[in-house]
Amino acid sequence: MDLSMSLVAREASQGLGPGVNGLPRPTPPKAAKKPKKAVLFFEVEILDAKTREKLCFLDKVEPQATIAEIKNLFTKSQGKSLKDEDVLQKLPVGTTATLYFRDLGAQISWVTVFLTEYAGPLFIYLLFYFRVPFIYGHRYDFTSSRHTVVHLACICHSFHYVKRLLETLFVHRFSHGTMPLRNIFKNCTYYWGFAAWMAYYINHPLYTPPTYGAQQVKLALAIFVICQLGNFSIHMALRDLRPAGSKTRKIPYPTKNPFTWLFLLVSCPNYTYEMTIWAKGKHCSYLKEFRDYPPLRMPIIPFLL
């Protein structure tokens, strides 16, 4: 008696117990599944704007996809750029790998680029310093300034670019062997043009000394010396990160040299000592390449820029 009652109670709790007049209770109908709404996908074909050659075909692109997302899909479909030292066995490919080669155009070595960039300002400045003909007028041809600060400026400028030339030959180690040939014209325009603009006014026959006299000159000279020492110290620290003949890239950190302590707060202390805008690009490349990159660093100036 106890056993049969327990079974009936369990069946009733499950909706299977006897119905009216002892007839079995009907099983409730299952709720009908709603048909899934069909999703309309787009097919996107990407062509070269000039040659009309098909570069990529994207299948099943969502209708709400933005142009930025389509650009991202295109980039992923092209695969990542490979380095010369990448090992085939460690790449995410099977026994059959497909590689795409892209023509980068005419290339030139970084050493040649740097030597050209730095030799130009050195030579151009001296043309203005010695006042060669057709610059300031014939009455000033090959004359000399009577202000000591003008001669000091020439010494500092020449020292800076001689230092850069020597660093290119004996200090710098490049991770990339070449760069596009067209870039050398852009870089030289910047370096050579800025040197000519600066040299024209400093060596002008009508040049007047600084407003605050010798004290201002001494302060500027001290800042120049500090910046040159700091710049050289950073270049040496970066050189020590990469063994000779290697293309290894590492996160730079401060050393025992106080001039390198700026690495605690900025990515490019060598540019801090020169105040150049190219630090922003290098800072972004550090962030993309190293996931554990120090988050507090700024490109050039701590906490500001």
C-alpha dihedral sign at 199, 203, 206, 211: positive
CB 178, CB 109: distance < 8 Å: yes
Asked whether residue 11 is assigned to any structural domain, the reply reads: no
What are the pLDDT digits (tens) for 156-201? 999 999 999 999 999 998 877 788 898 899 999 999 999 999 999 9
Tell me, yes or no, whether 205 and 222 share the same domain.
Answer: no
Same domain for 248 and 228, yes or no, is yes
**pTM of the shown model:** 0.68
Is residue 15 in a domain? no
Residue the block writes with tokens 């707060």: 265
**178 and 265 part of one domain:** no
pLDDT band at 295 (very low <50, low <70, confident <90, very high): confident
Spatial CA neighbour of 129 closest among 189, 221, 210, 201: 201
Both tokens of residue 31? Answer: 């709720």
The secondary structure of residue 261, as a DSSP letter, is G
Each residue of 78-98: pLDDT tens digit?
666 777 777 777 776 666 766
Cα–Cα distance for residue pair 202/196, rounded to 1 Å? 10
Residue 40 included in any domain: no
Closest by CA to 124, choosing from 99, 148, 100, 157, is 157
Q: How far is CA 177 from the centre of its chain?
A: 17
Say which DSSP state 88 is in.
G
C-alpha pair distances (Å), 276 with each of 161, 270, 305: 15, 9, 11
Q: What percent of the chain has pLDDT over 70?
A: 81
Q: Where is the domain boundary, 175, 209, 243? A: 209
Give the residue among 177, 190, 195 at the shortest CA–CA distance from 126.
195
Same structural domain, 205 and 216? no
C-alpha 38/C-alpha 50 separation (Å) is 37
Token code pair at residue 86: 């990448």
Q: What is the pLDDT of residue 14?
A: 46
Last residue of a domain, one of 177, 209, 241: 209
Is residue 195 domain-resident?
yes
Q: Which residues pair with 178 in a beta bridge?
A: 109
Residues 259 and 229: beta-carbon distance below 8 Å = yes
Q: Tell whether 251 and 234 lie within a shared domain.
A: yes
The answer to whether residues 165 and 222 belong to one domain is: no
What's the whole-number mean pLDDT along residues 32-48?
71
Answer yes or no: do 205 and 268 share one domain: no
pLDDT bin (cut points 50, 70, 90) of residue 255 is very high
**Of the candidate ranges 76-85, 148-157, 223-232, 244-253, the one whose mean pLDDT is the lowest:** 76-85
Residue 274 counted as domain residue? yes
Q: Indicate whether 276 pLDDT > 80.
A: no
17 within 8 A of 25, measured Cβ to Cβ: yes
- Output the CA angle 167-163-198, nearest 5 degrees: 130
The answer to whether residues 58 and 73 touch, using CB atoms and an 8 Å cutoff, is yes
Residue 190 makes CB contacts below 8 A (sequence gap 6+) with none
Mean pLDDT of 213-223: 96
Please state the domain count of the chain: 2
**b (16+ CB within 10 A) / e for 80-116:** eeeeeeeeeeeeeeeeeeeeeeeeeeeebebeebbee
Could you tell me if residue 153 is inside a domain?
yes
* Predicted confidence (pLDDT) at residue 242 exceeds the cutoff of 90: no
* Of the residues 209, 231, 248, the one at which a domain ends: 209
Residue 205: alpha-carbon gap to chain centroid: 43
Are residue 203 and residue 291 in the same domain, yes or no?
no
Q: Which domain holds residue 263?
A: 210-305
Whether 183 and 114 map to the same domain: the answer is yes
